[in-house]
Every structure is written in C-alpha cells, then in structure tokens.
Amino acid sequence: MRICTITVRAGSKGVPGKNLRVVAGRPLFAHSVVQAVRSGLFDDVVVSSDSDEILSLAPRFGATGVVVRPAEMATDTAGKVPAIAHAVRATEEATGRTYNVCVDLDATSPLRTVEDIRGAVATFEATDVESLITGTEARRNPYFNLVEEQPDGTVAVSKTPGDAVLRRQDAPRCFDMNGSIYVWKRRALLEDQVVFFPSTILFEMPAERSTDVDSEFDFRVVEWLMVQRSDL
C-alpha cells in the first residue's frame, strides 16, 4: 500500500501565507493534492498542517485525510521529515492500514507533473533502496565552475578531481535537489526519519519543473510557468 503526504505549515517568512495564495486557480498547496489524486497511485492522500484553514480546504481538492501537525513540528527550525513520519503514523492509526511505500510531495513545488510522480514511484519500486529524491542537473558543477571561499579569502573549485577537468561535460554529473518528491520505504522513514541512506537514488526532473517557492520572486516565476500549462 502507498500513502502520499503533503505537509503544509501555516507560517512562512519568505512569502507570508504562501501555501494559501491562489496560483493558477487553486491555493498553492492544493496543486500537490490534486496531482497526488490524479496519479492514481495512492491508497490515501493526507494533508498535515497546523492551519485550520488548510485542513478544512484539503478534502475539497481530494485529500482522503488530514492530520493536525503538532506545534513543535511547525516551527521555523523544525525539520520536515519528523512531520511526514508523524502524518504516516497518525493515518495508520486512524485507518488501520500499513503503508509500505511513503511518498511526500512538497507543497511549494507545484510545477511537477503527474508523470513525474508516477516515474519517481516506479523507479523506486523497481529497485531495492531505502529512499529516492528528485533533482535537476546543476547549473554549476563543483568539479568545474562552483567555487568556495578559503580561510585566507581566496577561492578555489569546491571539489578537486584526480585529473583536471577542462570541460564541464567531462565533470561528474551533479544535481540540485528540487525538493519536489520524496519516496521512502516505511521502515526507513518511520524508524530513521532521515532523507539520505547509502542506497538513496535520484529521479531526474527538468529545470522547468524544478522551481519551488521560497521567495516572492519564486512565486512570480512559478505563477507565470503554471498559467502556460494545460495539464492543471
């Protein structure tokens, strides 16, 4: 069985109230709910939040359940993975089900498609790994043109390979995590509550579907991209 969580905090410093702001006809968080439902993959689609308004709206967009996010898991410094694990445990207790695959869709990453979700889950289930993340090829490569400051104020390439890299195409492929889709085995999520394991793999997504909303500029970019699409 599979569960999809969408964990949505009420507060946001970068874009106040962003998860309830309407973009392309829906509150921002609701796009992830609709995508999860349309994928046809999940036995339950659950929204976890500390916002009464978000929890009341979620079923209108297809969520099969809601979970009240504990206050200590909804602060600016709280990690997201414990909130995901809490939502899965609470839903298992409420439904009597046990989910062997746990997926989380980030509420601030609405540019993903249903096919991205299906592809990520299919890739995960075709392998024996603990977790999967999504990302897009990095615009700056730490072996070639990403530099970091040294203690004396000089800069140097972040990672020094054994042989000099003269062309970006010759450097190892590197990715920016886009935070869009996370997939775990149940035990890995509930017991370890971390993202990365020795077996973690990545599902690649294109740059045009990899922007998440962390600033007002991001919101405007995402809004512009979404109004161009016909699959919403």
Q: Indicate whether 112 and 150 sit together in one domain.
A: no
Q: Indicate whether 151 and 64 sit together in one domain.
A: no
Q: Indicate whether 19 and 100 sit together in one domain.
A: yes
pLDDT at residue number 168: 66
Residue 232 belongs to some domain of the structure: no
Q: Indicate whether 42 and 95 sit together in one domain.
A: yes
Tokens encoding 141: 């490569």
Amino acid at 176: D
pLDDT at residue number 14: 65
Q: Indicate whether 65 and 164 sit together in one domain.
A: no
Q: Indicate whether 166 and 153 sit together in one domain.
A: yes
Q: Indicate whether 119 and 220 sit together in one domain.
A: yes
- Cα gap 201→198, rounded to integer Å: 9
Q: Indicate whether 215 and 112 sit together in one domain.
A: yes
Q: What is the pLDDT along the chain (232 residues), one digit of tens a residue?
A: 999 999 998 866 667 788 999 999 999 999 999 999 999 999 999 999 999 999 999 999 999 999 999 888 877 777 899 999 999 999 999 999 999 999 999 999 999 999 999 999 999 999 999 999 999 999 888 888 889 999 999 998 888 776 667 576 777 889 999 999 999 999 999 999 999 999 999 999 999 999 989 889 998 999 999 888 877 7
pLDDT at residue number 28: 95
Q: Indicate whether 221 and 129 sit together in one domain.
A: yes
pLDDT at residue number 166: 59
Q: What is the DSSP string of the chain?
A: -EEEEEEE-S--SSSTTGGGSEETTEEHHHHHHHHHHHHT--SEEEEEES-HHHHHHGGGGT-SEEEEPPGGGSSTT--HHHHHHHHHHHHHHHH----SEEEEE-TT-TT--HHHHHHHHHHHHTS--SEEEEEEE-SS-TTTT-EEE-TTS-EEESS--SS---SGGGSPP-EEEEEEEEEEEHHIIIII--S--TT-EEEE--GGG----SSHHHHHHHHHHHHT-S--
Q: What is the pTM of this model?
A: 0.92
Q: Indicate whether 27 and 123 sit together in one domain.
A: yes
pLDDT at residue number 104: 98
- Cα gap 216→184, rounded to integer Å: 31
- Domain housing 26: 2-135+175-227
| Domain count for the chain | 2
pLDDT at residue number 152: 94
Task: From 108, 129, 95, select the one nearest 31 (Cα to Cα).
Answer: 108
With contact defined as beta carbons under 8 Å apart, do 81 and 41 qualify?
no
Tokens encoding 159: 């990672």
Q: Indicate whether 51 and 105 sit together in one domain.
A: yes
Amino acid at 211: T
pLDDT at residue number 141: 87
The residue with tokens 């989910």 is 99
